[in-house]
Amino acid sequence: MVQHDRKRRFELLALPHLDAAFNLARWLAGNTADAEDVVQEAYLRAFRYFDAFQGGNFRVWLLTIVRNSFFTWAKENRSSRLVFHAEPPSGGAGDTETTAWGTPPRDPEALLMERIDSETLSRLMERLPAEYREVLLLREVEDLAYKEIAEVSGVPVGTVMSRLARARLALRKLWFGEVEAEAGNAV
């Protein structure tokens, strides 16, 4: 009965977040089959360490486990998804994200991303390094605060902020490339 209650409590807490867990795993792993493996492993781990959950935000706790399960999985499978082809730091330490943002090369209106279609956005996201995808998802889709993202990713809040800035910059760069290519084709 005790065991049953534990399992039921776990399911009541964990199953409502299955979509969030799967969406994160799917974006990290890149396909459904691998994402399912990662999520199953994560739920098994979460159940095992359920007693260690100290209260607080269960979704954040669970997403942390999903995220770590993905990285463990990627290492074990030597997945290329783990390779961070991170943006090289543009310039020296004094070169902040804000200056790197710069001014758009074209008519700013044409560069607003609002009108991007899902397919293109997916494709661009897929080209980002895993840690950039992760931080963008946690911020924009899961709507987590910097502090919560720091918890999930296991890095300081300052790192979250600079990583998020770099991720946005990288996505913007890919988007500009897309717009330029389209303009080139149109001519």
Partner 1 sequence: MQCDRARRLLPQLIDGALGPMRRLFVTRHVAHCGACSAQLEELQSMQTAIRSNLPYHHAPPGLAARIGAMLPREEVPAPSRPWLRVPAFAFAGTGLAGALAGVALTLLVVGGGGSAPDEAVEQSVIGSHIRSMMADHLTDVLTSDQHTVKPWLSARLDVSPSVRELKDQGFPLIGGRLDYVDGHPAAAVVYQHAKHVINLFAWASPGKPDTGFHDESRQGFNVVTWRRGGITYYAVSDVEADQLAAFAKLVG
**Chain residues 125-144 in contact with partner 1, contact rule CB under 8 A:** 125, 136, 139-141
Based on the shown chain and the rule CB under 8 A, indicate whether residue 114 belongs to the binding site for partner 1. yes
- Site size for partner 1 (CB under 8 A): 56
Based on the shown chain and the rule CB under 8 A, indicate whether residue 111 belongs to the binding site for partner 1. yes
Based on the shown chain and the rule CB under 8 A, indicate whether residue 53 belongs to the binding site for partner 1. no
Based on the shown chain and the rule CB under 8 A, indicate whether residue 58 belongs to the binding site for partner 1. no
DSSP string, the chain: -HHHHHHHHHHHHHGGGHHHHHHHHHHHHSSHHHHHHHHHHHHHHHHHTGGG--SS-HHHHHHHHHHHHHHHHHHHTT-GGG---PPPP-SSTT--HHHHH---SS-HHHH-GGG--HHHHHHHHHHS-HHHHHHHIIIIIS---HHHHHHHHTS-HHHHHHHHHHHHHHHHHHHHHHHHHHHHHH-
Stretch that binds partner 1, among 63-71, 73-81, 84-92, 100-108 (CB under 8 A): 100-108
Contact residues toward partner 1 (CB under 8 A) are 3-8, 10-12, 15-16, 18-19, 21-23, 26-27, 32, 35-36, 39-40, 43-44, 47, 96, 98, 101, 103-104, 108, 111-118, 121-122, 125, 136, 139-141, 145-146, 161, 164-165, 168, 171-172, 175
